[in-house]
Structure 1
Amino acid sequence: MPRIPALAPQDAGTIVKLGYRMARRRLGEVPEPFAVLARHRKLFVAAARHELAVEKAMHVVPPALIQLAVYRTAWTVGCSWCVDFGTMLQRMDGLDIDRLKEIASFETSDKFTDAEREVIRYADAMTATPMAVSDEQVASLVDTYGNEGVLELTYQIGLENQRARMNHALDITDQGFGTGDSCRVPWATEPVGATTGA
């Protein structure tokens, strides 16, 4: 259970209920980070708008590469929710999710292309503390994707660092999106009237 409980639909206002309906329609269930953030309506609305705007802005780097960079970032930070959700997104796009089992050995695995390895290395360098991005890395990526492409990759990796670190800090764990089976409803296991998570 997250450290701050999800907001149940019966306790939500009109805007949050509408957001929940849209999420269910699109994803099959309400993502738990979305339902936790709903406890702060203004941040909830800001985050939802931001995510939709970022999604629409991406047009240079192939979506599969963006998803792989985001997945690797989540895996590196240790956010099980983001890894779970990222697996679902790749499955929905018809990508090979079995290869994700080899993400730790991406350098030697034959499941990853040179382009994918370069993007994973960039995600690793950005996620490292302190950051380890080099001029050579950025120049190589600019040669392939141009300035806009590198900005897309950088933005998405930075955004995933924010998401993954926030979810990890609030103890929001995998929800069942990645398996393709039924997904755990965020508020189903909470005691009535709960205000904090354990």
Structure 2
Amino acid sequence: MGVTRIPAVTPKQAGLLTRMTYWYSKRRFGEVPEPFAVLANHPKLMRAAGVHETLVERGSTKLAVPIREIAVYYVARTVGCSWCVDFGSMLMRLSDLDLDRLRHIDDYQSSDHYSEDERAAIAYAEAMTATPPTVTDEQVTDLKKRFGTEGVMELTYHIALENSRARSYHALGITDQGFSQDSCRVPWAE
């Protein structure tokens, strides 16, 4: 765990809306996620990100949670965002998903720990995250058969959003916080 490249805003430094966001976040997640505390350096963007994340969460109803979460996890791991892997593992645990199978994600194409639908979603995440992206028409056609058009849109949006999160947090030096172990590091304690 390192120090972020831009320091977290402490509750004493924060305005009223940011302190309210911290209170809600701590209540929901057990601790304030460090990306929120760093983004609080720009309160308007922090509020916009919070509203966006809430709307995405509420609007994501077409794709099965395990499909979405495994694809998002793959992106976080590929980009190298330890915070996203940590937080994503917590979300999967709270959704009662099998975390042990994550050890086999490098072999997702042949591992019996993954369904055909999960393999297709992970392959899509891999293709979208590649630089440059390597998504094919055949891949999207296959995903539409599996998940429907709205499911593909949802999967695409979540993969792209996780690329944005993971790359932003990595750039800002935000690292794992301990969410996957139920023992979180407080962002401003260092």
TM-score (normalised: structure 2): 0.97
Q: Distance in 2 between matches of 1:98 and 1:171?
A: 27
Is 2:39 aligned against 1:37?
Answer: yes
Deviation at 1:108, TM superposition (A): 2.2
Partner residue, 2:188: 187
Alignment counterpart, residue 96 of structure 1, candidates 76, 90, 98: 98
Partner residue, 2:108: 106
**Which letter maps to 1:132?**
T
**Structure 1 gap ranges (5+):** 190-198
Q: Distance in 2 between matches of 1:177 and 1:168?
A: 17
Is 2:129 aligned against 1:127?
Answer: yes
Q: Deviations over 1:73-118 (max 9, x none)?
A: 0000000000000000000011111111111111222211111111
RMSD over equivalenced CA pairs, Å: 0.7
**Conserved? CA contact 2:4–2:174, under 8 Å:** yes
Q: Deviations over 1:27-77 (max 9, x none)?
A: 000000111000100000000000000000011100111111110000000
Q: Distance in 2 between matches of 1:65 and 1:26?
A: 23
Aligned pairs, number: 188
**Structure 2 gap ranges (5+):** none
Q: Distance in 2 between matches of 1:94 and 1:187?
A: 30
Partner residue, 2:118: 116
Q: Distance in 1 between matches of 2:111 and 2:127?
A: 19
TM-score (normalised: structure 1): 0.93
Runs of 4+ in 1 over 3 A off after TM superposition: none
